Amino acid sequence: MTPLVRLHVDDTPAEIWLKLESLQPIGSFKLRGAANAILSAPRAELAGGVVTTSTGNMAQGVAFMARELGIPATIVVPDNASPAKLAAVERLGGRIVSLPWERWWAAVDADRDRDLGEGVEGYFVHPVKDEPVMAGNGTIGLELAEQLDEIDAVLIPWGGGGLTSGVASALKAVSPSTRIYVCEPATGAPVTATLANGGVPTPVEFTPSFVDGAGSGALIEVMWEHARELVAGSFAVSLEDAAAAIRLLLERAHIVAEGAAALTVAAALSGGVEGDRIVCIVSGGNIDGARLAEILAGRVPS
């Protein structure tokens, strides 16, 4: 169980709590889904190793579990993946295969017949679509219900939708009055566009940024079908506000957060979330050191 701590900052619009998935052994919530998916797979199918498509955090979760089981891991990443996250994958023994972002996203979005690059074989763990992955993520929601009473809202970064689907499904069962809000970077906010279009999946322009664990040009439609009835609203957060939240978390709460994790805190601080008690999922702390230095110097990295 990861800690849930109060954010003590003056003049916040509500009582803000932080669910610190950044303190997982790999620095990200992704270990929950990776562990559940791999440990529930038939052992015979794991003999040839495991494969995933990831910008870095699921990559680390899969590589961590593969190392624990003594099997190889191959990680297919987009060409804009964080160097810090790739270095962590290599430390865990994972083999990295890089693809252009569009080709990588096509592999993530595909139901089968994925183009994962030459020589990529093994048991495939989807970073968001697999039900065991979503169920593993859902343990966050169960923990929140044990750790804190009367939660009005939970804010969750949206990358592919697996975190939102898992946490929201669990909270619907144990805390049905809690509202779920999605947080995305304004440089690629398809949930926000989709909600504005009556729930019809709507592509948007996408610009990669230091918020590398959230945001895209389009929804994975099957994931939106999982989440659409569970989501009360969304926030498209500017890169400036995300960077400011990273600075605040480090300087005032001594918490290192990556870009996607900071989206939830930025949204909570904006005053746009209804409720007196708000929980922000701090989804990970794997931020590149050079980018963090820029942010602490008051700049917004690319």
Per-position pLDDT tens, the chain of length 302: 999 999 999 889 999 999 999 999 999 999 999 999 999 999 999 999 999 998 789 999 999 999 999 999 999 998 888 788 889 999 999 999 999 988 998 888 887 778 887 788 899 999 989 999 999 999 999 999 999 999 999 999 999 999 999 999 999 999 999 999 999 999 999 999 999 999 999 999 999 999 988 999 999 999 999 999 999 999 999 999 999 999 999 999 999 999 999 999 999 999 999 999 999 999 999 998 999 999 999 999 97
- 100, 124, 148 — which closes off a domain? 124
**What CATH number corresponds to the domain at position 35?**
3.40.50.1100
E strand spans, the chain: 4-6, 15-20, 50-53, 73-78, 95-99, 123-124, 153-157, 179-185, 233-237, 277-282
Residues 24, 35, single domain; the answer is no
- Specify the number of domains making up the chain: 2
302 within domain boundaries = no
Q: Is residue 301 part of a domain?
A: no
* Dihedral angle over CA of 260, 265, 270, 273, nearest 10: 100
Q: Which of 70, 104, 124 is the last residue of a domain?
A: 124
Residue 116 domain-assigned (yes or no): yes
What is the pTM for the complete model shown? Answer: 0.93
Query: Residue 39: which of 122, 165, 133, 142 has the closest Cα?
Result: 133
Residue 135 lies in a domain: yes
Q: Give yes or no: residues 48 and 60 share one domain.
A: yes
Are 144 and 160 contained in the same domain?
A: yes
For residues 280 and 201, state if they share a domain: yes
Same domain, 115 and 163: no
Q: Which domain holds residue 146?
A: 4-28+131-296
Instruction: Answer with the one of 124, 159, 175 that is the final residue of a domain.
Output: 124
Q: Are residues 143 and 228 in the same domain?
A: yes
Are 162 and 16 in the same domain?
Answer: yes
Q: Are residues 23 and 42 in the same domain?
A: no
